């Protein structure tokens, strides 16, 4: 019987059912992987489409705009000046003597003819009495000489007296008449000197401090100055303007580019105080000097300004805001609405479709925190003032009327009206920021350097 280990073994053939199970599992795995890939692709497309759909559904951003209204805009120039009293009078002693009384309060308003000082009048009263006595004696002598001449007249006609005696009588009469006239003049002089003992105000105005006190000897050899009276209602404001600027202005008016303010050489004058506030009353230009200062190249001008409250004091430094001409078909825009760069001045205009586009403009001088735009805009167009940080791409915006913000000091007092959304503090009146060079890729509206008109960091989305 052969051994079992000697029997050769034959290989087993694979079962048909096992091969079919393996192929099914592989097919199932392939189908699942394809389904996962398709699901992931669908999710990716949905996530990519979500921001676009949200952007289409987002409402347009609100931006503050002003509507262009063309008209005549005054060209204002601010020039430095000094206040000067319209009338100045020095109070001096015209008679020598001792000051007995001071009859005014220092720094008060006085009227012309009001008594200010009293000098001892006794010597002048005595001189007046002596002059009056001399006059009385002269008048008595005149009466005697006249009577003698009258008696000699009929006698000389009948040769009762000599002709020489009658001539002597007439000469004595005329001499007596001269003595009377001299006596009357002496009395008048004594009365004047006695009047000088009472020192009065030569003009109406405000008197300063007294330069002498009671008991002082004045007028001894010279007319001693006692005080100064200044008339400060109205006051004069003397200021200067560059001769070059004045000539350019006149040339522009002759060409017709500008027209005169008020139709004449006269100009509208307003006063800006040292703290930046504007004086409540306007003045008028009196004259401009006919000559130019050879050392400074300036022309001197003078204005008259009402000063009933005495706010403007002589010597006070002020700035004169002078309207010398007007620009035709111009518009005032807030400074924050204008972009100033080395490439030129531009504004952002909101079209009828809500799209924002830049527009080059020509900018003149500044006025009350605004720029005078002389060309580049049409009436009725809407210029964007704030909300620049809300611009995203080329999407449309919703224009809303812009309201000028109220200073923080007024807002703190509760008197400020609410400003439109997105508005910010306007630049200070009269401030003209220097042109700034826009960064690469875009430019920025000028409010402060490097910021947009609404105070947010500049964006180069434009």
Q: What pLDDT was estimated at residue 372?
A: 87
Closest CA to 166 of 176, 177, 154: 154
pLDDT at 295: 85
Do 271 and 313 form a contact (C-beta atoms < 8 A)?
Answer: no
The SS3 call for residue 287 is strand
What is the pLDDT at residue 315?
92
Question: Measured between alpha carbons, how far is residue 59 from residues 56, 281, 354, 383 in Å?
Answer: 8, 49, 12, 20
Q: DSSP labels for 323-369? A: EEEEEEEEEEEEGGGEEEETTEEEEEEE-TTS-EEEEEEEEEEEETT
Contacts 24+ apart (CB under 8 A), 246-253: 246/288, 246/299, 249/324, 249/325, 252/325, 253/325
pLDDT at 408: 57
Helical (H) or strand (E) element with 47: helix 16-57
Predicted confidence at residue 442, as pLDDT, reads: 40
Distance from C-alpha of 3 to C-alpha of 338, rounded to nearest angstrom: 113
Tens of pLDDT along the chain (462 residues)? 444 444 444 444 445 444 455 555 665 666 556 565 555 555 555 555 555 555 556 688 888 898 898 888 877 778 899 999 999 999 999 999 999 999 999 999 999 999 999 999 999 999 999 999 999 999 999 999 999 999 999 998 888 889 999 999 999 999 999 999 999 999 999 999 999 999 999 999 999 999 999 999 998 888 899 999 999 989 999 988 888 877 776 776 676 655 555 555 556 688 999 888 889 888 888 777 778 888 888 888 888 999 988 899 999 999 998 776 677 888 888 888 898 888 889 998 988 888 888 899 988 777 777 888 888 888 889 998 988 888 877 778 888 888 877 665 555 555 444 444 333 333 333 333 333 333 333 444 444 333 344 433 343 333
| 8 Å CB contact between 397 and 390 | yes
Q: What is the pLDDT of residue 422?
A: 39
pLDDT at 285: 81
pLDDT of residue 134: 95
What is the structure's pLDDT at 30? 62
Instruction: Identify the three-state secondary structure at position 23.
Output: helix
pLDDT score at 324 = 64
Per-residue pLDDT, 10: 46
Per-residue pLDDT, 64: 87
Length reported for the chain: 462
């Amino acid at each position: 019987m052969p051994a079992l280990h000697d029997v050769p073994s034959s290989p087993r053939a694979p079962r048909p059912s096992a091969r079919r199970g393996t192929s099914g599992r592989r097919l199932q795995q392939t189908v699942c992987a394809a389904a996962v890939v398709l699901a992931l692709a669908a999710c990716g497309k949905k996530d990519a489409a979500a921001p676009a759909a949200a952007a289409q559904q987002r409402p347009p951003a609100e931006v503050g705009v002003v509507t262009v209204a063309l008209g005549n805009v005054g060209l204002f120039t601010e020039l430095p000046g000094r206040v000067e009293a319209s009338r100045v009078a020095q109070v001096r002693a015209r008679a020598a003597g001792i000051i007995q009384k001071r009859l005014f309060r220092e720094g008060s308003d006085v009227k012309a003819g009001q008594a200010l000082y009293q000098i001892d009048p006794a010597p002048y009263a005595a001189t007046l009495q002596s002059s009056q006595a001399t006059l009385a004696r002269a008048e008595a002598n005149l009466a005697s000489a006249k009577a003698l001449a009258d008696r000699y007249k009929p006698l000389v006609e009948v040769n009762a007296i000599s002709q020489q005696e009658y001539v002597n009588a007439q000469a004595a009469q005329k001499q007596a008449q001269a003595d009377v006239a001299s006596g009357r003049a002496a009395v008048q002089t004594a009365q004047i000197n006695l009047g000088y003992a009472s020192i009065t105000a030569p003009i109406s105005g405000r008197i300063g401090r007294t330069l002498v006190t009671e008991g002082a000897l004045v007028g001894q050899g010279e007319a001693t100055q006692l005080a100064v009276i200044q008339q400060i209602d109205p006051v004069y404001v003397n200021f200067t303007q560059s001769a070059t600027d004045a000539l350019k202005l006149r040339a522009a008016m002759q060409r017709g580019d500008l027209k005169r303010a008020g139709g004449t050489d006269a100009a509208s004058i307003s006063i800006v105080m040292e703290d930046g506030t504007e004086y409540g009353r306007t003045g008028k230009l009196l004259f401009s000097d006919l000559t130019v200062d050879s050392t400074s190249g300036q022309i001197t001008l003078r204005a008259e300004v009402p000063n009933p409250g005495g706010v403007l004091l002589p010597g006070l430094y002020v700035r004169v805001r002078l309207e010398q001409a007007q620009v035709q078909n111009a518009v005032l825009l807030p400074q924050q609405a204008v972009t100033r760069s080395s490439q030129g001045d531009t504004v952002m205009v909101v079209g009828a479709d809500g799209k924002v586009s830049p527009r080059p403009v020509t900018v003149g001088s500044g006025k009350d925190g605004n720029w005078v735009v002389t060309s580049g805009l049409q009436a009725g167009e809407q210029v964007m003032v704030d909300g620049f940080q809300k611009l995203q791409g080329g999407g449309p915006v919703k224009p809303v009327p812009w309201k000028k913000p109220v200073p923080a000091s007024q807002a703190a007092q509760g008197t400020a009206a609410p400003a439109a959304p997105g508005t910010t503090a306007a630049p200070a009146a009269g401030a003209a920021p220097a042109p700034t060079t826009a960064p690469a890729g875009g430019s920025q509206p000028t409010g402060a350097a490097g910021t947009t008109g609404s105070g947010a960091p500049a964006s180069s989305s434009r």
